[in-house]
Amino acid sequence: MTQNFDIIIVGGGMVGATVACSLGDSSLKIAVIEQNLPTAFDNAQPHDLRVSALSIASKNILDTIGAWQGILERRYCPFKRMRVFETAGDTEFCSDEINHAELGFIVENRITQLALLDQLQQFENVTLFAPLTIKTIDYSVTETQIELENGQQLTAKVIVAADGGNSKVRQHVGLGVTSWDYAQHAMVIYLETDYPQQDITWQRFVPSGPQAFLPLTDNYASIVWYNSSDEVKRLINLAYPALMQELTKSFPECLGKITQVLGTASFPLKRQHAQNYVKQGVALVGDAAHMINPLAGQGVNIGLLDAAALAEVLIDANKKGENIADIKVLKRYEAMRKNENLKMMSVMDIFYRIFSNSILPVKFFRNLGLGFAERVTPLKHKIMRAAMGLEGKLPKLARGEKL
């Protein structure tokens, strides 16, 4: 028997589940398909390697759709200071300067997803199909049919691709991408230091690439070490005691004495952007639409802004009696997000190229720029607000307004 929906969201990760929760309690009938459910959380568990720096805009979205409480009940680390420095230039931002309690929050991706899935199941108009994979997709401009591995048949007017950078939905419906690889890999290291829980995240720039620090709860931290693919391969194959020695030698004293290394992972740096976010009956969100340099940790944040914007467009169109699958309707979402995302991607590219450059005149001017940003208060405040997701055209949910 075929089950009919208005919208099928393929992918129940952080972005896909945010789309679903944002559409909760509407008159639209929603299906979410997710192939891997996260394991249950226990406070005694070690931190996951995959964490995100959620902006204030992301917190507003999650709070407004009812999922933030699920994060507060589990584990998170607020931070109020952000430092960017290298040999000479040094700038530190503090939320107190613009009368905010925090700049953002470091949260494990699994915890964010669990909080969203908990909330998702509170909505009568949302059905979760998980853990299940898709067997076939039959897309047409009038209706998309999906068959799951267990034989269930689903149809919908709109299919939302929230299935990541290698999106099968995007490929199936023929939405192309422009992409290239950066000449670096990133190594994520989960460790314990002798410092208690910190309220600062920092990024130091050295000739081999950036070094980033993300505070976690208690004495734990996540650091990201950008380097050449060969060097990252060498580092990740080291025994933990040898890796501790490399970290002690290479990272600044503000990291604190490393007590132990607890886990590592690595991934290549890649930029990817869909040429179009929508077509009749299809919308791309999150990594399915864009993959950004992780330098400033904005990937998840712009994905959640996508989710909020798409839900806003769909609910508004439905209230007006419009066909939510119409390309003219879905183009409103693309108009809200594509250029905003492109601007963020371009800024991260410029930032990456300037700070990954060892040419002396470039180094001189970037140090000059860091010093300038430190001294010029209006510029400093604008940078902070941008990092918090409070600049640009924001969807209603990001402003804390219900749909």
For 243-282, what is each residue's pLDDT tens digit? Answer: 999 999 999 999 999 999 999 999 998 889 999 999 999 9
Check the CA dihedral 236-240-242-244 and report its sign: positive
Pull the structure tokens for residue 360.
């002396």
Q: Which two tokens stand for residue 6?
A: 């208005």
Tell me which H or E stretch contains 207.
Answer: none
- Could you tell me where in the chain the CATH 3.30.9.10 domains are found? 181-270
Q: Which residues contact 116 (CB under 8 A, 6 or more apart)?
A: 14, 17, 18, 20, 21, 62, 67, 70
Structure tokens, 143: 């209706």
User: Given the DSSP bridges, would you call strands 258-274 and 177-193 parallel, antiparallel or unpaired?
Assistant: antiparallel
Closest CA to 330 of 84, 161, 138: 161
* Dihedral angle, C-alpha 389, 390, 394, 397, nearest 10 °: 80
pLDDT at 88: 63
**Residue 287 phi, psi (nearest 5):** -65, -20
Question: What fold is seen in the domain 2-79+109-179+271-399?
Answer: FAD/NAD(P)-binding domain (3.50.50)
pLDDT of residue 85: 85
SS3 38: coil
In the chain the first and final C-alpha atoms are separated, in Å, by 33
pLDDT of residue 343: 87
The hierarchical CATH code for the domain 181-270 is 3.30.9.10
Residue 351: predicted pLDDT: 64
- Give the pairing type, strands 104-108 and 51-55: antiparallel
As to burial, measured by CB atoms within 10 angstroms (0-12 exposed, 13-18 middle, 19+ buried), residue 86 is: middle
Residues of the chain with CATH 3.50.50.60: 2-79+109-179+271-399
Name residues whose C-beta falls within 8 Å of residue 28's C-beta, 6 or more positions apart in sequence.
Answer: 6, 7, 125, 314, 315, 318, 324
Give the residue carrying structure tokens 């964010």: 112
pTM for the structure as a whole: 0.93
Cβ proximity of 182 and 280 under 8 Å: no
Distance (Å, whole) CA 83 – CA 299 = 19
The answer to whether 338 touches 284, Cβ cutoff 8 Å, is: no
Distances (CA, A) of 368 to 59, 175, 205, 347, 362: 33, 42, 14, 18, 10
Q: Which residue numbers in the chain have pLDDT < 50? A: 359-376
Q: Rounded to whole angstroms, how far apart are CA atoms 122 and 66?
A: 10
Using DSSP's 3-state secondary structure scheme, residue 206 falls into: strand
* pLDDT at residue number 367: 46
Q: Which parts of 194-239 are beta strand (E)?
A: 200-206, 209-215, 220-227
- pLDDT value for 285: 98
What confidence score (pLDDT) does residue 345 get?
85
Cis ω for the linkage preceding 46 (within 30 of 0): no
d(CA 138, CA 373): 52
DSSP, collapsed to helix, strand or coil, labels residue 82 as strand
